[in-house]
Amino acid sequence: MSTSVLPEILDANSAYAAEFGDRANLALPPARRFAILTCMDARLDPAKYAGLAEGDAHVIRNAGGRASDDAIRSLVISYKLLGTREFFVIHHTDCGMLFFTNDLMAGLLESSLETAQLTENGFVDVGTGPGSIEGRYVNFLTIRDPQLAVIEDVNRIANHPLVPSTIPIRGFIYDVRSGKLNPVEGAERNIG
């Protein structure tokens, strides 16, 4: 049985729109001129952990906060057209991307398209088919070593031919237990 949160979302939006006020005048470029690439995990609230108000920064989110082609596309648009001058890559502890591999995900998707279950022994498919082999053609950018993943992502962005060498890039791991941003040694490109 599925449930919908649509009525809750629409009610919340009505209340938000009723108090929208001066937000209608926010500029298109981010006021604080930086972008954050972070994970889609619901436990992360970049506005709170980075002290952001609406209009302050670009926040790009995906599974794991990885420097995928699409994330880099967004960062390039952010600096080239909207003037961001600094990037932060923020992964986090206890990330779901640590709990599976590309092969496991592809196998789960081949079995069924229903939601898998996380057990003590990892993810297990509890659905019934049909599934799809299309998962074999996707790199899910899983994470084996959290520190190394941040360093890899910072380096991928820093070395991308569309990202100028003048943009500082810093990597962090957000601790989901304490709320603290911890810098990752070796995950920075400082300018000046």
CATH number for the domain harbouring residue 72: 3.40.1050.10
Question: Per the domain annotation, does 21 fall within a domain?
Answer: no
pLDDT in tens, 173-188: 999 999 999 999 999 9
Q: Which residues of 137-151 are buried (b: 16+ CB within 10 A; e: fewer)?
A: eeebbbbeebbebbb
- Decide: 170 and 88 in contact? Cβ < 8 Å: yes
> Do residues 86 and 153 both lie within one domain?
yes
User: Which residue type occupies 179?
Assistant: G
Question: Per the domain annotation, does 2 fall within a domain?
Answer: no
Quote the domain boundaries for residue 48: 30-98+141-192
Q: Which pLDDT band holds residue 2 (cuts at 50, 70, 90)?
A: low
Which residues are CB-contacts of 130 (< 8 A; sequence separation ≥ 6)? 112, 113
- The model's pTM: 0.94
pLDDT at 43 exceeding the cut of 80: yes
> Do residues 122 and 42 both lie within one domain?
no
Q: Residue 161: how many CB atoms within 10 A of its CB?
A: 5
> Do residues 63 and 134 both lie within one domain?
no
> Do residues 149 and 90 both lie within one domain?
yes
> Do residues 38 and 131 both lie within one domain?
no
Q: Residue range 25-52: average pLDDT?
A: 97
Return the structure tokens found at 36. 């954050």
Q: Which pLDDT band holds residue 152 (cuts at 50, 70, 90)?
A: very high
> Do residues 89 and 130 both lie within one domain?
no
Q: Residue range 168-177: average pLDDT?
A: 98
For a pLDDT cut of 70, what percent of the chain falls above it? Answer: 98
Of 4-8, 50-54, 187-191, the least confident: 187-191
Total number of domains constituting the chain: 2
